Amino acid sequence: MDQYGTAPSPAEHPGIFRSEEMCLAQLYIQSEAAYGCVAELGELGLVQFRDLNPDISAFQRKYVKEVRRCDEMERKLRFLEREIKKDQVPMLDTGENPDVPQPREMIDLEATFEKLENELREVNQNEETLKKNFNELTELKHILRKTQTFFEEHEELQVEALLPLEVTRDLHAPDTPALIMQLRFVAGVIQRERLPAFERLLWRVCRGNVFLRQSDIDDVIQDAVTGESVNKTVFIIFFQGDQLKTKVKKICEGFRATLYPCPDTPQERREMSIGVMTRIEDLKTVLGQTQDHRHRVLVAASKNVRMWLTKVRKIKSIYHTLNLFNIDVTQKCLIAECWCPVNELERIKMSLKRGTEDSGSQVPSILHRMETSENPPTYHKTNKFTRGFQEIVDAYGMATYREINPAPYTMITFPFLFAVMFGDMGHGTVMLLAGLFFILKEKQLEAARIRDEIFNTFFNGRYVIFLMGAFSIYTGFIYNDIFSKSINLFGSSWRNTYGADFFQEHLTYEEQEKPFMLVPEKGFDSPGGPYPFGLDPVWNLAESNKLSFLNSMKMKASVILGITQMAFGLMLSLYNHRYFKSDLDIKWMFIPQALFLGCIFVYLCLQIIAKWLFFTAEANTVFGYDYPGSNCAPSLLIGLINMFMQKSRDKGFEGPTCYLNFWYPGQSFFEFIFLAVAICCVPVMLFAKPYLMWKEDQLRRGRGHAHLAPVELILLVVALVQVPLMLFAKPYLLWRRQKGYQPQIDQPGTSGGFQQSVRADMNGEDVEVVQHADEPPKENGASHGGGHGHGDGPLDMGDVMVYQAIHTIEFVLGCVSHTASYLRLWALSLAHAQLSDVLWTMVFRHAFGFDGYLGAFITYALFFVFFFLSVGILVLMEGLSAFLHALRLHWVEFQSKFYGGHGYPFAPFSFEKILQEEREAEEQA
Amino acid sequence: MGEFFFNIDHGYLEALIRGFKGGILTQSDYANLVQCETLEDLKLHIQSTDYGNFLANEPGAITVGVIDERLKEKLVTEFTHLRNNALEPLATFLDYITYAYMIDNIVLLITGTLHQRPIAELISKCHPLGSFEQMEAIHIASTPAELYNAVLVDTPLANYFVDCINEQDLDEMNVEIIRNTLYKAYIEDFYKFCENLGGKTAEVMCEILAFEADRRAIIITINSFDTELSKDDREKLYPRCGKLYPEGLVGLARADDYEQVKQVCEWYGDYKALFEGTGPNPGDKTLEDKFFEHEVKLNVHSYLHQFHFGVFYAFIKLKEQEMRNVIWIAECISQRHRSKIDNYIPIL
């Protein structure tokens, strides 16, 4: 819900300063050409289609059959891909972009896939059966081998004990009378992890009357269906009696143990074993052949699979898009509605033409521009450099259609504000090199398709990082700070007044260690002038007051930078108001806001600059007052507070509190005026615009609906109680304006002011058409129309009113709090400098205390500690925090001055985007 | 106090489960589903819901069986993930949820074996949430005592089974009694467990379990009319943790027909409403459906509280209901029996 309505049409400000101008267009496409046209538009990627059948569910649309066919093809391709991956055949992925296949080609594709799938399934099935056989035989082989050892152990037992001998002999000689215990056995294979439970259950069910021997199979057997490796164990169970046999068999079945026939005599076992071995060999050859065949099929398919997938996805997206279209009654033509950039209309028309010609349709497709009152989507053209910054802005909120795009300004201010907090030539260089590396290796890194989220964050922000690094070097140069050290490029403007002999002659050893002060009047070497650029390196040696000097400088610099940026934001709001031709906003919103900001905050900035310029270390005359020295330089903070309090102060620089006095002639008068103007601006901002609009509306109402006079009277009375009602009136009027100017239709001649007529234009033809349709009943019952307006009014009122009040109050309070907020520039810069100082003195400096080889080694070792801590803590962590603060300064402090952010992004139908998304989804799965 | 530390152990899973719950089909999804002409339509629509592409890799025409299988598979995957990440006491709580499915599986297997069905066919019908290692060997048992000694003694259900050990041969009547006795013991145990957990869990779960207990008692009573089950035996099967206990259960034990059951239940505000509007007339809902609706309501309400385990139970139950709904709709579509397609239980 923006307060501007729709924008006027002339395309001034082209390029990146505002979003692209969009228009709603209607497409009439012959149904036979529709496929080709949409394909061309998809390649172009500049058109956002609207769903014209929102009420029809997905499966009732016209092209659902084709979509389903595509789904089926995709499934087959996925199946192929899985199989290819299973066999570890390399897939050819050139990333090429095949053209959209013709609709009739779809049948060929389908047939190809069908054939491939069937072939593969058949091969798989064969392989599965073969594998199963193979597994069974392998298991049998193991059984025979293991049982052999079991039985051999028994033979040994025969010698030792008599009873087992009887038992085993029974086993081998079934013809002995069955009076003696008849021991029988089953042998089989079971999964190893199931064995304990199996054994337990067996024991429990058979009450301990069975004897189980087991032995693990060392080879890993591959499951025929899933292809997973399973460990198995051979077991042999001895028992007696039929009842136990059924039980044992049931349990075996329950635990999915496979039982194999095992001959009783060693002779037979050996023969069987030999037979099994030969069969295994045979199977191996057959299996090998099958696998070769499968491999050949897959290798052949692997060359095309990615290309096919791209094709199928394109077809599918085309049919999805066609499903959004409306079908003409005659069934001959499809109607589509789309948003497209006005500048690209020609290219779109060309694409349509190409699409129509390619499909051999006789009737050309028609693109017809429509007028609409709807808010068009916001479309910013970006390139790889601007994208990062545009995303920073968009992350806060998509710009309202055609409002000023902060991104171009952000491109410079963002890295700059970052650098103010991160000012260090050394760290800046590290960052610059990192950014440069990403930029130079851009192509390779993009091709490598690294999926790491953190890497991608950095990689996508490579140009931001690069600029942040460059600006950090610049501010580092101004701060004269490289890894917390300074460089003396131009020669310091300060000289040591003490001299070497002073220390030797006059002071004891202990006293030499004490800090000495350079008296400004004497120590400053004025003929050379101040240090020409940046901070004088001598300050790095001033241990006790370096901080207080830097703090004062950085604090003032941040306030100036902050207020400059806010004032710039405010200027942008002027351009917004002017672009949307909102005269009222300029007069009653922008001007009071600018006055408010100017009278207090810009005045503060001017004071800061004046203080820098005129107040030196030496005594001189400032604005006609005798200035004794730096202890009388005015205190601006207390001065600002006193300005608000309107406290009377002495003039000139006299007395013990000379820094609190007025320091230029007429200061009390000017400050009174500034304060008065600023305070007056507040109610103007809050009430003036609503009041004027309300009044004008009353005027129009008074003429339009004369019988509403009593209401007007009451309203006038209420108007005396200004505050609540005026708050109430503006939102109400805003609502009126949104609804389109009905009263203006009633009374075309009486439209009060300039901005009303403009607004009627802005509402566009579409609205007007509606009004014309409504006109006759309205003329007859004008009072009814008015009543209707009253009835609906309060609905939006609360919302708009709260929004409006917040907006006004936010600006006033915001000016104060935002200025304070910019002090984070100073705070972070201070923290950064201190941290890097700590790292130097606590870590690296220790290395210099040693001489010789030891010193070299320690320097070598400590350098790495120092370097990695520098990169880890200072560049990465501090960099991140400075980045976040810069982000906040842009989103909150800067953009709140002018940026609406109520738009919605332009989402064109583009193959490139769709394929990209599909690929990402695929990679994530 | 439990609430303060809940998130340390269970916060992640609670967040997950609430996310899962957000994916439950809504009224508008159902409205779209019932419009489907074929199962392919159903598949197409269900792709746009949280189920996503769970049917996308099915070759050939899909059947209701395939849908059922995939639905279950999805639920099991989700549940296993929860169970694998759960800490005590939530882990035990989740195990308790599976016991109900284990009971169903055991009963299914025994009944199947009684009818001489091959075990492999029965296994495929078992609910995967309730499968356990010894499950497939269940058909070796011919008496409850054997069943206990051989199979169930190692499972968590052993304690519940103690009451049904006898040497009678397993027959259909017996199996039903076993099922109900197991359920009774299970619900009472679960109820006690939740009560011991205390806090919101107890508050929410006891409400749900009490209803579950009462529902079983009422259904048992209604189903027992005109069977050989004696009133004394019947009374032994009532779970004693519901709102009907003790007076209501005594009343139910004496009941001889549907009207008397209804009379007993009319003393209880919650259940009175359920009996109203049920009946044999066309257009009336069955009592069973009413119970399902009430269950859904209770389960959905559990999401209004935070820091408790009830949401996990509720999710499984809601998902189960949703699966029943989808299968119902799918069956109606595939059998071209569209007149009853609206008889699903919407999840609020």
Distance from CA of A201 to the nearest CA of B (A): 6
CB contact under 8 A, A255 and B136: yes
pLDDT per position as a tens digit, B5-29: 888 889 999 999 999 999 899 888 8
Cis peptide before B89 (omega within 30 of 0): yes
Residue type at B150? A
* Angstrom distances, CA of residue A553 to CA of A239, A556, A558: 98, 5, 9
pLDDT of residue A511: 67
* A113-122, A175-184, B133-142: least confident range: A175-184
Tell me the pLDDT tens digit for each residue of A749-801.
333 333 333 333 333 333 333 333 333 333 333 333 333 333 333 334 455 56
Q: Are the Cβ atoms of A256 and B35 closer than 8 angstroms? A: no
Encoding tokens for residue A895?
């953009």
What integer is the mean pLDDT of A244-254? Answer: 82
Residue B293 identity (one-letter amino acid)? E
Chain A touched by B45 (CB under 8 Å) = yes
**B29: distance to nearest CA of chain A, Å?**
10
3-state helix, strand, coil in chain A (%, to 5): 65, 10, 25
For B:140-199, CB contacts with A below 8 A are 140, 146, 149-151, 153-154
Closest residue in A to B61 (Cα–Cα):
A72
What's residue B143's pLDDT? 79
Residues of B in contact with A60 (CB under 8 A): 35
Give the lowest-confidence range in B86-90, B153-157, B201-205.
Answer: B153-157
- For chain A, say whether B61 makes contact (Cβ under 8 Å): no
Q: In angstroms, rounded to a whole number, what is the distance separating the alpha carbons of residues A380 and B323?
A: 46
Percent of chain A's residues with pLDDT above 90: 20
What strand order describes the sheet that includes A183-191? Answer: A211-216, A232-240, A183-191, A258-260
Q: Residue A7: pLDDT above 50? A: no
With CB atoms and an 8 Å threshold, state whether A58 touches B37. Answer: no
Do A255 and B137 lie within an 8 Å CB cutoff? yes
Residue from B29, B44, B110 whose CB has the most chain A CBs within 10 Å, to mutate:
B44
Q: Which residues contact B46 (CB under 8 A, 6 or more apart)?
A: B33, B54, B55, B326
Q: Is the dihedral of CA A846, A852, A858, A860 positive or negative?
A: positive
Alpha-carbon torsion (A263, A264, A268, A271), positive or negative: positive
Closest residue, chain B, to A247 (C-alpha) = B140
Structure tokens at A46: 């500049």
From the CA of A248, how many Å to the nearest CA of chain B? 9
User: Higher model confidence: residue A160 or residue B86?
Assistant: B86
What number is the average pLDDT over the span A228-244?
A: 83
Tell me the per-residue pLDDT of B316-329, one tens digit each, with 9 for 90 and over. Answer: 999 999 999 999 99
Complex prediction ipTM: 0.78
Beta bridge partners of A260: A187
- Pair B311, B21: CB distance under 8 Å: yes
What phi and psi, each to the nearest 5 degrees, are found at residue A485? -105, 160
What is the least distance, in Å, from the CA of B298 to any CA of chain A?
Answer: 32
Name the pLDDT band for A211 (thresholds 50, 70, 90).
Answer: confident
pLDDT band of A168, cuts 50, 70, 90: very low
Cα–Cα distance between A154 and A17 in angstroms, integer? 95
Nearest Cα to A716, choosing from A693, A689, A687, A694?
Answer: A694
Express each pLDDT in A694-751 by its tens digit.
Answer: 777 767 766 655 555 566 556 655 655 444 444 555 666 666 666 654 444 444 333 3
- Residue at token pair 């143990």: A257
- Alpha helices (H) along A461-530: 462-479, 500-506, 509-512, 520-523
Question: Closest by alpha carbon to B131, among B109, B164, B115?
Answer: B109
User: Which candidate in B48, B133, B135, B148 is best for mutational testing of the A interface (most A CBs within 10 A)?
Assistant: B133
CB contact under 8 A, A251 and B140: yes
Cβ-defined contact of A256 to B149 (cutoff 8 Å): no
Distance in Å, alpha carbon of B92 to nearest chain A alpha carbon? 22
Q: From the candidates A59, A64, A192, which should be mutated to test the interface with B, based on the most B CB atoms within 10 A?
A: A59
Rounded average pLDDT over A885-910: 91
User: Is 90 exceeded by the pLDDT of residue A804?
Assistant: no
Smallest CA–CA distance from B119 into chain A, residue = A254
Distance from CA of B158 to the nearest CA of A (A): 15
User: What distance, in Å, lies between the first and last C-alpha atoms of chain A?
Assistant: 39
Query: What does pTM read for this prediction?
Result: 0.72
- Between A and B, how many CB-CB pairs are < 8 A? 67
Q: Which residue of B has its CA nearest to A70?
A: B56
pLDDT for res A702: 65
* Interchain CB distance below 8 Å, B136 and A253: yes
Lowest mean pLDDT among A86-100, A183-197, A358-372, A883-897: A86-100
- Say which of A117, A200, A254 has its CB closest to residue B136: A254
d(CA A814, CA A101): 58
Q: Which helix (H) or strand (E) holds A366?
A: strand A366-370
CA angle, A320 as apex, A316 and A326 as ends, to 5°?
145
End-to-end CA distance of chain B: 31
pLDDT single digits (tens) A829-839: 999 999 999 99
Residue A171 banded pLDDT, cuts 50, 70, 90 = very low
What value, to the nearest 5°, has the Cα angle with vertex B331 and ends B326 and B337? 125
- pLDDT at residue A586 is higher than 50: yes
Does the bond joining B246 to the residue before it have cis omega, within 30 degrees of 0? yes
Q: A795 vs chain B: nearest CA distance in angstroms?
A: 28
Predicted pLDDT of residue A432: 95
| Three-state secondary structure call for residue A178 | coil
User: What are the pLDDT digits (tens) for A437-446?
Assistant: 999 998 988 8
Over range B58-84, report the average pLDDT: 88
Per-residue pLDDT of A591-602, as tens digits, reads 989 999 999 999
Nearest to B119 among A59, A204, A253 (CB): A253
Structure tokens at A667: 């200061």
Lowest mean pLDDT among B43-47, B210-214, B296-300: B43-47
Nearest CA in chain A to B155: A197
pLDDT at residue A678 is higher than 70: yes
DSSP letter assigned to residue A323: T
Chain B: closest CA distance from residue A140 (Å): 23
CB spacing of B139 vs A254 below 8 angstroms? yes
Residue A185: the pLDDT is: 81
Q: How far apart are CA A899 and CA B82, in angstroms?
A: 45
Q: CB atoms < 10 A from the CB of B182, how many?
A: 23
Phi-psi region of A449 (alpha: psi -120 to 50; beta: other; left: phi over 0): left
Average pLDDT over residues A907-923: 86
3-state secondary structure A235-303: EEEEEECHHHHHHHHHHHHHCCCEEECCCCCHHHHHHHHHHHHHHHHHHHHHHHHHHHHHHHHHHHHHC
In total, chain A counts a number of residues equal to 925
Residue count of chain B, please give it.
348
Question: In A, which residues are within 8 Å of B153 by CB distance?
Answer: 204
A419 neighbors A468 (Cβ within 8 angstroms): yes
Query: Given CB atoms, is B57 within the 8 Å cutoff of chain A?
Result: yes
Query: A225-229, A512-516, A791-795: which has the highest mean pLDDT?
Result: A225-229
Chain B residues with CB under 8 Å of A71 CB are 44, 56
* Arithmetic mean of pLDDT over chain A: 79
pLDDT digits (tens, 9 = 90+) for A137-156: 888 888 888 887 777 776 66
Whether B80 has a pLDDT exceeding 90, the answer reads yes
Using an 8 Å Cβ cutoff, are B225 and B257 in contact?
yes
Q: How far apart are CA A427 and CA A443, in angstroms?
A: 26
Q: What pLDDT does B86 receive? A: 92
CB nearest to B149's CB, from A71, A204, A255: A204
Record the tokens describing residue A733, joined without a space. Answer: 């009027």
The nearest CA of chain A is from the CA of B183 a distance in Å of 25
Contacts of B151 in chain A (CB under 8 A): 201
B106 reaches A (C-beta below 8 A): no
B318 is written with which tokens? 């809601």
Which uninterrupted H or E stretch holds A233? strand A232-240
pLDDT at A207: 79
